[in-house]
Amino acid sequence: MSFGPNPWQQAHWDWRAAGNFMFGGVGGGLLLLAMAMPPRLRSVLALVGLALVGAGLFCVWLEIGRPWRALHVMFHPQRSWMTREAFVAALLFPSALAVAAGVGSLAAVVAVLALAFVFCQGRIITGAKGIPAWREPMVWPLVMATGLTEGAGLMLILAPLLGARVPWLPLLLVLLMFLRLALWTIYRRRVAGRTAPPATRVLDQVGGVLQFGGSLLPLVLLAPLAVDLLPAPTSSMLGALAGASALAAGAWMKYCLITRAGYNQGFALARLPVRGVPR
């Protein structure tokens, strides 16, 4: 059904809109965590994070009906979180490039801007008041926690490839996974009974992926690292697999939330007209 009194799935945001939250979230999370790394590693991770944020914004550009008028998104900062996201991105790119070039004094600025970028993404979703699964206020902290979790997961993948060892990163990933799962549980309870049946089924499926593929599996993979008795290559491989699992589950959650759970609330009609029946 595309129109009527019952809820129907929105058709304005598709995989391109989801790509903004998927790429932009992990890129923002990676940029934030990268600012705590040593200079050489920080420079490389900053470039990777910027590339991911850029990929997300490119998806938005593809999604716009008239892409050559994309600059019009800058005209409404007083009421549009998408405009605010664009302003933050305009500051984030030169700042992160400067850090990548060796200007370490801007690391704190980049960390704040990256956090603000992920925050704006969450508020963009909650701004869609006609979609019960999106307008829930718990969405924006869930999106922020997911972005940070994905950033930590990606860093676990990249750090061994860059010849770096970050002892505290597995513990940070575990804490972020538990935070994400806790926020998802709260979110799921708050939207119970408010979403259309198809959206409810999608959210239940996503919850299973987050619980097992995005939390339990990475925890099992990271458990041997706590004893620190494994060879370095084995530890790196387990960490990378755990990071990939946590990252994939978060990306899948955002993809499904945008493209599959986006049912509106339908029309609230207390009485429907019926031919031949007097009012």
Tell me the pLDDT tens digit for each residue of 125-149: 998 888 999 999 999 999 999 999 9
Q: Which amino acid is at 55?
A: A
Q: Which residue ranges of the chain lie beneath pLDDT 70? A: 1-5, 65-79, 267-272, 278-279
Does residue 134 sit within a domain? yes
Main-chain dihedrals φ then ψ at residue 9, nearest 5 degrees: -75, 130
Tally of CB atoms within 10 A around 67:
10
Token readout for 29 is 């999370």
Rounded to a whole number of angstroms, the distance between the first and last alpha carbons of the chain is: 27
Model pLDDT, residue 66: 67
Residue showing tokens 């664009």: 86
Token readout for 169 is 């990163």
The residues with which 9 forms a beta bridge, in sequence order, are 263
Model pLDDT, residue 1: 46
**Residue 220 CA, distance from chain mean position:** 23
130: alpha, beta or left? (left if phi > 0; alpha if psi -120 to 50): alpha
pTM confidence score? 0.89
Q: How many domains does the chain have?
A: 1
| 110 class by beta-carbon count within 10 Å (0-12 exposed, 13-18 middle, 19+ buried) | buried
Domain with 213 in it: 15-259
- Cα distances from 248 to residues 73, 86, 279, in angstroms, run 30, 26, 54
Does residue 84 sit within a domain? yes
Token readout for 121 is 């993404």
Model pLDDT, residue 129: 87
Q: Return d(Cα 162, Cα 199) in angstroms, integer.
A: 41
Token readout for 219 is 């925890």
- On whether the CB atoms of residues 186 and 140 are closer than 8 A, the answer is no
Does residue 95 sit within a domain? yes
Does residue 79 sit within a domain? yes
The residues with which 263 forms a beta bridge, in sequence order, are 9
Main-chain dihedrals φ then ψ at residue 263, nearest 5 degrees: -90, 135
Does residue 4 sit within a domain? no
Tell me the pLDDT tens digit for each residue of 181-222: 999 999 999 999 889 999 999 999 999 999 999 999 999 999
Does residue 1 sit within a domain? no
- CATH number at 245 reads 1.20.1630.10
Does residue 154 sit within a domain? yes
Look at residue 75 and give its three-state secondary structure: helix
Does residue 2 sit within a domain? no
Tally of CB atoms within 10 A around 77:
13
Token readout for 161 is 């490839």
